Amino acid sequence: MKSYAQIVSWGRYVPSKVLTNADLEKMVDTSDDWILSRTGIVERHIADDKESTSTLSIKAARAAIEMADIHPSKIELVIVATVTPDYLFPATSCLVQDALGATQAGALDLNAGCSGFVYGLGMAGGLIAAGQYNNILVIGADTLSRIVDWTDRNTCVLFGDGAGAVLLQATDLPTGVLSSVLGSDGSGGSLLQVPAGGSRHPASQETVQNRLHYMKMAGNEVFKFAVNAMCKSALQAIKDAGLSPDDIDLLIPHQANARIIQSAAKMLKIPGEKVYVNVDRYGNTSAASIPIALCDAISEQRVKTGDHLLLVGFGAGLTWAAAVVRWGVSPLVPTLPWWKTVQYRYWDEVSSARSRLRRVLRRISLLGR
Ligand code: UT7
């Protein structure tokens, strides 16, 4: 029997610190009016000194695990899509796997720029459909504030930090990831890149002096590429799912720029009321943008059982990706009893207290013999 990969739970996290357009006006030569009219962004969230991509991922993932009511040891694979890993190595996914107590899981990072989450969804969907895995955690997370040049107005106004996670589970019901399309055109790699810090230009005094560890972007070129790539891959994913654009109930695009989203929706002939936009609240959170938008769309009750969602992204690489998902669970977050919420939050503490208690009881019973 065919297996489908259903999204059974989800979670998101954004740092508490908010950076508004007014704040940016004090940092670079820009204006609220320019940022809002060119991008649709009002504010973004910025990680504090103690936060990093792994800590954001862990918070989003824990929310998804709590909602699914699943023990972390049941998770078989942790995929973290990111361009801002904690380290060059080990992989951020390994840090996340360890912190979650996902002791039976493999872990890998996936670098496909802002398309990374949809890449992860497509890969996880395929592994589950092949019958190889039953539970895969897919996370999109980025801390772009760490690689943004805060003196470059062309880029620093656009980005924010955050993470989103979904748990995919095998099911016989025809629901979940119905199709996915992944694409790349490496000839455009230099349009959006961090030039130094890798094996081509390792860190040196010169690379630091020339600010080559910060993101460089040809915004206009990326804009033009984005609209076409999104539309082409979206139409293919819709076709592969055996649907037509009219069947799409909600388009959840990568939240880079409200104008890119409007142009893509217009080209796809998907009306505005079927397009989810939250770029105003978070800016471009890279690989996190689509899962955060999915979570927000669910909590705003924009997603109903049976709906067809079209997730589509583009980003550094250059890459693009689209997936069609048939929503198979109630969008209402199940309310867990209080004791279960406490149990999940303090999982490690509860398990070690339980084993300590077991040891004491064993000693007492031995004494009694
Ligand atoms: O996730 C993938 C990552 N990348 C993206 O999503 C980026 C895609 N591209 C974009 O979103 C848009 O191209 C931008 C928002 C980056 C720029 O918008 P644009 O309408 O393409 O503007 P532009 O690049 O054509 O620049 C227009 C002007 C320039 O001034 P001049 O040369 O016309 O005098 C820029 O210097 O706007 C100027 N400018 C700014 N002015 C005020 C650029 N950034 C700013 C700024 N504040 N922050």
Could you tell me the pTM of the whole model? 0.89
Ligand 1 contact, 259 CB (< 6 A): no
**What is the average per-residue pLDDT within 147-162?**
97
Residue 359's pLDDT band, with cuts at 50, 70 and 90, is confident
- The catalytically annotated residue of 45, 278, 284, 295 is 284
Q: Is 114 noted as a catalytic residue in this protein?
A: yes
Q: Is 210 noted as a catalytic residue in this protein?
A: no
Strand-pair partners of 6:
169
In the prediction, which pLDDT does 353 show? 73
Task: Give the strand pairing for 176-184 and 319-326.
Answer: antiparallel
DSSP structure string for 162-201:
EEEEEEEEEESSS-EEEEEEEEE-GGGGGGEE--SSSSSS
Can you tell me which atom of ligand 1 is nearest the CA of 30? Answer: 47
Rounded to the nearest whole angstrom, what is the distance from the C-alpha of residue 20 to the centroid of ligand 1? 18
In the prediction, which pLDDT does 342 show? 55
Angstrom CA distances, 266 to 43, 230, 243, 259, stand at 25, 12, 18, 11
Which residue has the CA at smallest separation from atom 29 of ligand 1? 154
Query: Minimal CA–CA distance to 182: which of 85, 109, 112?
Result: 112
> Is the pLDDT score of 363 beyond 90?
no
Residue with tokens 């019973």: 365
Strand-pair partners of 45:
18
**69-95 pLDDT tens trace:** 999 999 999 999 999 999 999 999 999
Rounded to the nearest whole angstrom, what is the distance from the C-alpha of residue 219 to the centroid of ligand 1? 6
Rounded to the nearest whole angstrom, what is the distance from the C-alpha of residue 153 to the centroid of ligand 1? 9
**What is the average per-residue pLDDT within 337-346?**
52
Residues with Cβ within 8 Å of 83's Cβ and at least 6 positions away in sequence, in order, are 111, 113, 116, 142, 144, 147, 194, 286, 287, 315, 316
- Higher pLDDT among residues 56 and 351, named by residue: 56
**What is the average per-residue pLDDT within 294-311?**
94
Angstrom CA distances, 348 to 97, 250, 292, 299, 343, stand at 14, 39, 27, 29, 9
In the prediction, which pLDDT does 348 show? 45
In the prediction, which pLDDT does 313 show? 97
Q: Is 297 left (phi over 0), alpha (psi -120 to 50) or beta?
A: alpha
Which residue has the CA at smallest separation from atom 30 of ligand 1? 154
In the prediction, which pLDDT does 362 show? 79
> Is the pLDDT score of 231 beyond 70?
yes
> Is the pLDDT score of 368 beyond 80?
no
Distance CA 288, CA 282 (A): 10
In the prediction, which pLDDT does 338 show? 59
Residue 355's pLDDT band, with cuts at 50, 70 and 90, is low
- The catalytically annotated residue of 94, 114, 156, 231 is 114
> Is the pLDDT score of 352 beyond 70?
no
Q: Is 284 noted as a catalytic residue in this protein?
A: yes
Distance CA 317, CA 213 (A): 17
> Which of 37, 38, 159 most suits a substitution to test ligand 1, by most atoms within 8 Å of the C-beta?
38
Query: To the nearest 10°, the Cα dihedral for 303, 4, 254, 111?
Result: 150
**1-60 pLDDT tens trace:** 678 999 999 999 999 999 999 999 999 999 999 999 999 999 999 999 999 999 999 999
Residues with Cβ within 8 Å of 205's Cβ and at least 6 positions away in sequence, in order, are none
Can you tell me which atom of ligand 1 is nearest the CA of 217? Answer: 4
> Is the pLDDT score of 100 beyond 50?
yes
Rounded to the nearest whole angstrom, what is the distance from the C-alpha of residue 36 to the centroid of ligand 1? 12
In the prediction, which pLDDT does 337 show? 56
What count of other Cβ atoms lies within 10 Å of the Cβ of residue 308? 17
